[in-house]
Amino acid sequence: MNRPRRQPERSCVSCGAKRPKRQLYRVVRSPAGVVAFDPVGKAPGRGAYLCGEDECLKRALPRLAHALDIAVAEEVMADVRTQITARRDSAVHGRVGAQGGPAGSGS
């Protein structure tokens, strides 16, 4: 079922690519000043969006720090990158629930 819906667009803070919000990955700076990947996209705090392209993620750190107005540590960036990559890859490989079949019962 296609339900064409106008979605708010956001720009990737690293490369500037415009995408519907759902296709971007949100990184949030919490009110406490902790930077982390936001898998739900609703965490409180200041958010910045990344498109998730490899090249883009590699260069994201300074842009992200600028967008969030806070220093982002290398290890935080590495963690964000890992989580975005993992989500991106799982989205490519399978859409659990889309077909209505039980998943995970082996072959």
Three-class SS of residue 71?
A: coil
Under the criterion CB under 5 A, does residue 28 sit at the interface with Zn ion?
A: no
Mark the segment that binds Zn ion (CB under 5 A) among 7-15, 28-36, 37-45, 62-70.
Answer: 7-15
Residue 64 within binding range of Zn ion, rule CB under 5 A: no
Inter-residue contact 60 to 13 (CB < 8 Å): yes
> d(Cα 107, Cα 92) in Å, to the nearest integer?
20
**18 vs 44 by CB, closer to Zn ion:** 18
Query: Could you give the angle at the alpha carbon of 28 between the alpha carbons of 25 and 31, nearest 5°?
Result: 165
Residue 84 found at the interface with Zn ion (CB under 5 A): no
Of the listed pieces 47-55, 68-76, 78-86, 98-106, which binds Zn ion according to CB under 5 A? 47-55
DSSP designation for 40: S
d(CA 72, CA 76): 7
Question: For Zn ion, which is the closer residue by CB, 35 or 49?
Answer: 49
What is the radius of gyration, based on Cα positions, of the chain? 15
Q: Which of 10, 12, 29, 64 binds Zn ion (CB under 5 A)?
A: 12
Residue ranges in contact with Zn ion by CB under 5 A:
12, 14-15, 17, 51, 56
